[in-house]
Amino acid sequence: MALEPKPGLVVRYDFLWKEEKQAGLDSGKDRPCAIVITSAERPDGTKDVLLCAITHSPPGRSEAGIKVPAAVAKHLGLDYEQSWIKTDQVNRLTWEKGRIPYGISQARKGEWSFGMIPRGLGQQVFDQVREKARNRTLLTVSRDE
């Protein structure tokens, strides 16, 4: 089954935090992740994709994140604990057209995504990631290495 990456889509992905990468790990915990940015498709059918992790841990003092409203969590089928979209770290991967990238697993039996976050929430996530990138404080882990 083909899954088209688009901003706002929430997938289950083995998100790798920067400190885990620095410790020598090459995969992380499977968790919901929101696609924030997709590049234009290249002639070979690939796109670069940036994902932010969705976690129960609120942002620490030096971190950034956006609270996921309860109604959005319910719509996505997440549990009832408060969730946050962390916006100070992203994973970058190459997504081949018509393929499911390594590290993405089924969100639920037979489904490859949790669904879409609302456009306004997606814009808030994008704005925070863009601001971190402009300030050169965005932590990025490339998963294609």
List the beta strands (DSSP E) in the chain. Answer: 9-15, 29-38, 46-55, 65-68, 83-86, 89-96, 104-105, 115-116, 139-142
- Give the tens place of pLDDT for each residue, 82-92: 999 999 999 99
pTM of the model: 0.94
- Which letter, b or e, does each residue of 83-106 get, where b requires 16 or more Cβ atoms within 10 Å of its Cβ? bbbbbbbbbbbebeeeeebebbee
- Give the tens place of pLDDT for each residue, 15-51: 999 999 999 999 899 999 999 999 999 999 999 999 9
- Give the tens place of pLDDT for each residue, 45-102: 999 999 999 999 999 998 999 999 999 999 999 999 999 999 999 999 999 988 889 9
